Amino acid sequence: MEVKKICCIGAGYVGGPTCSVIALKCPEITVTVVDRSPQRVAQWNSDSLPIYEPGLDEVVRKCRGKNLFFSTEIEKNIQEADIIFICVNTPTKTFGNGKGRAADLKYVEGAARMIADVAIGHKIVVEKSTVPVKAAESISNILQANLRESVSYQILSNPEFLSEGTAIEDLLNAERVLIGGEDSPAGHAAVAALSSVYMQWIPAEKIITTNTWSSELSKLAANAFLAQRISSINSLSAVCEATGADVSEVARAIGMDSRIGPKFLKASVGFGGSCFQKDILNLVYICECLNLMEVAAYWQQVININEYQKSRFSAKVIECLFNTVTDKRICILGFSFKKDTGDTGSRRPFMSPKHS
């Protein structure tokens, strides 16, 4: 199957950068990012993009209006696309079963229903959002329940592995691309079609193909392992402070072990961002639903250590201020949760009213 048109539902932190790089590397493919928000689409079409990522501005300027478009015409672009990416938010549920832990798939479901309503011909529907295992089955059920004559679908899982602040670099020089699909001739053809897009700039040996469920779980597992390393070194920082050891020296010593490596071994206030805590809580909920309570407790402890580190740091600040912050002025350099990103909504606060 020759891919001529791609439609991405969702013009956020994943959809915008991902499709901008695809447009840059695949000039023969028309890439359209659609969103319900006219304001967000207008920003993507302006000189002031809605998100900040080093290098993103340059990529968008090179491609926009040529083979990269941002639009509110969702139905039209779904109908014309060969591949449809679902890049919508999957926040933690705020009510109902799994409140505070499970992923809320209402936006994914909404995207699937929109595709079902207007799609014509054969479509490859790609989960790009981080979703729980078996989410592709839910998408398939929605599409099949509304199946019309001459319409067919294949569902793929293609999770993103981007870090805010380095998203463009992560896309241009990806360590791996993961594509999960159905073990059938039609499934293999869909995987091959999506692989052909990435192979325009990603070496074939870096493109991993699995079944759908392995791909979905791999994304949650990757974030859980990275967060686990942060909590591990942070837990040791408490031991270092109590014994006179230097956590940076400990991190350097263990990081030189090739089996461990140096990445994600910098002690800090704890991890923030929009992904780690959300995805680990989702993993905990999945384990509990599978009655794997010991496994759920293990991953919950990664979150617990993160909260402990935040509280421990706060206590040290309070201690330096004679045990009260009342009428004190504290300057915090850096408002986003990490460097080179404009994301301030998911930073980790380390002070709260209880500390006053």
Residue with tokens 């799994």: 98
Q: What is the four-CA torsion angle of 231, 233, 234, 235, rounded to 10 degrees? A: 80
Is residue 88 a known part of a binding site? yes
Is residue 327 a known part of a binding site? no
Q: Quick check: 101 and 282 in contact, CB under 8 A?
A: yes
Is residue 342 a known part of a binding site? no
Is residue 58 a known part of a binding site? no
Is residue 273 a known part of a binding site? no
Q: Quick check: 196 and 205 in contact, CB under 8 A?
A: no
Is residue 92 a known part of a binding site? yes
Q: CB-based contacts of 186: which residues, under 8 Å, 6+ apart?
A: 152, 154
Cα Rg of the chain (Å, integer): 22
Is residue 15 a known part of a binding site? yes
- Cα–Cα distances in angstroms (integers) from residue 49 to residues 39, 55, 86, in the given order: 11, 12, 21
CA 311, CA 315: separation in Å to the nearest integer?
6
Within its chain, how far is the Cα of 120 from the centroid? Answer: 29
Is residue 11 a known part of a binding site? yes
Secondary structure letter of residue 354 according to DSSP? G
Q: Which residues are catalytic?
A: 275
Is residue 70 a known part of a binding site? no
CA 117, CA 140: separation in Å to the nearest integer?
14
Is residue 129 a known part of a binding site? yes
Is residue 212 a known part of a binding site? no
Is residue 14 a known part of a binding site? yes
- Annotation: binding site: 10-15, 35, 40, 88-92, 129-130, 164, 275-278
- Annotation: binding site for NAD(+): 10-15, 35, 40, 88-92, 129-130, 164, 275-278
